[in-house]
Amino acid sequence: MKSRLSHPFVQALLILAVAYLLFRFGIAYIPPLLGVKSAPVPHTVLLQYMLTVAVGVLLYVSATEDRWRAFKAPIQRVLVDPSQRLYRLALLVTVPLLAGFITYRQVRPSVEAPPNLRSIHPAPPSTITFRGKTMTLAGLENPLRKEGNLRDHVEEGRRVYYQNCVACHGDQLNGKGHFAHGFNPPPADFTDNGTIPQLTESFVFWRIAKGGRGLPKEGTPWNSAMPAWEDFLTEREIWAVIIFLYDQTGWTPRTWDTAEGGAR
Ligand code: HEC
C-alpha cells in the first residue's frame, strides 16, 4: 500500500480527486456546519479551480527528473507496451464514447417549456404622453431636485407611497406588501440592487406612470400587476414618490452620464 501511495501518478490522481470533491461539495456543505453561509461553486469556476490544481500537480510531478519519469511510466506503458493491448483498446473505445456522450448531452434538444423571457427592464420609449403632455424621457431629470426643500419632497413622497404603493411594495419597500403573494411577477423589491439603483429617475417615472400595461414588447407576457398611476397621481406626486424611494432605500439613481447609449 505504501509503495502505491508514493507513486507520483497515484498521488496526482488522488490530489485531483480530493480537490474535486472539496470544490464540488466541500465548499457548499462544510461552512454551513460551522454556521457560515455558503453556496455551490458554479461549473465554470469549478473548472478554473481544477485547472489551477492540475497545473500545480504537473509542477509537482515534474519537479525532479526521477519523479517525472516515474509519473510518465504508467502512461507510457499503457500506450506502447504489447502486454497492455487490452487496456489500450478499452481506452480507445471508452474515451471517444465518453466524449460523444458528453457532447450528446449538451446538444440534445429538450422538451421543457421555453424559459420565461420577460425582460425586467425593457428599453423605455423615447417619449411618453402624460395627461396629454408629451415628455421626452432621454435626459429628463427629476425637476423637484432643483426646487424647494428636499425634506418636503420626501415627506410628500412618503404620503403618496403609503396611500398607494405600500399594499404591494411593502412597508419596508422590499416588495413584500400584503397583496404581494398574489402576483407573478412579484412587486419590485426596491431594496434590491437590481431595481431602482440600476435606473434613471426618468425610467422610474415612466414605469410608475404607465405601469405593467405600458410595458413594450419585451415586457411580455404583460402579466405585471403594476398599475398605471398617471390616472391617479399628478406629475409632481410621481416625482416626489421617486425621491422618497431613493431617500428611503439609500440608493442613488443612475445618472444620464453613466447610462450607456442613453437607452434608459
Ligand atoms: C397592485 C400592486 C402594485 C401597486 C399598488 C404598486 N405596484 Fe409597483 N409594481 C408592481 C409589480 C407586480 C411590479 C413588478 C412588475 C413590473 O415591473 O411591472 C412593480 C414594479 C414597479 C416598478 C419597477 C421597478 C423596476 O425595477 O423596474 C416601480 C418603479 C414601481 N413598481 C413603483 C410603484 C410605485 C411608486 C407605486 C405607488 C404609487 C406602486 N409601484 C404601486 C405592483 C404594484
* pLDDT tens by residue, 128-172: 999 989 999 999 999 999 999 999 999 999 999 999 999 999 999
Report, as an integer, the average pLDDT of 212-238: 87
Environment class of residue 27 by beta-carbon count within 10 Å: exposed (0-12), middle (13-18) or buried (19+)? Answer: middle
Query: Is residue 54 pLDDT above 70, yes or no?
Result: yes
Question: What atom of ligand 1 comes closest to residue 232's alpha carbon?
Answer: 38
Q: Which atom of ligand 1 is nearest to the CA of 121?
A: 27
pLDDT reading at 45 higher than 50: yes
- CB 197 less than 6 A from any atom of ligand 1: no
Q: What percent of the chain has pLDDT over 70?
A: 94
Report pLDDT for 2: 56
With a 6 Å cutoff on the Cβ, whether 142 touches ligand 1 is no
Question: Using 50, 70 and 90 to split pLDDT, how confident is the model at 31?
Answer: confident
Predicted confidence at residue 213, as pLDDT, reads: 85
Give the mean pLDDT of 60-84: 91
One-letter identity of residue 86: L
Question: In residues, how long is the chain?
Answer: 264
Average pLDDT on 67-95 reads 92
Kindly state the average pLDDT of the residues 33-44. Answer: 81
Average pLDDT over residues 4-22: 92
At 116, the pLDDT band (50, 70, 90 cuts) reads: low
Return the pLDDT at 262.
Answer: 44
Contact 209, 226 (CB under 8 A): no
Ligand 1 centroid from CA 216, angstroms: 16
The response to whether residue 166 sits with its C-beta less than 6 Å from ligand 1 reads: no
Q: Is the CB of 254 under 6 A from ligand 1?
A: no
The per-residue pLDDT for 59 is 96
Mean pLDDT of the chain: 89
Atom of ligand 1 nearest to the CA of 204: 29
Please count the other Cβ atoms lying within 10 Å of the Cβ belonging to residue 84: 16
- Structure confidence at residue 258 (pLDDT): 64
Q: Are 198 and 121 in contact (CB under 8 A)?
A: yes
Kindly indicate the confidence band of residue 180, based on its pLDDT and cuts at 50, 70 and 90.
Answer: very high
Ligand 1 pocket member 226 (CB < 6 A): yes
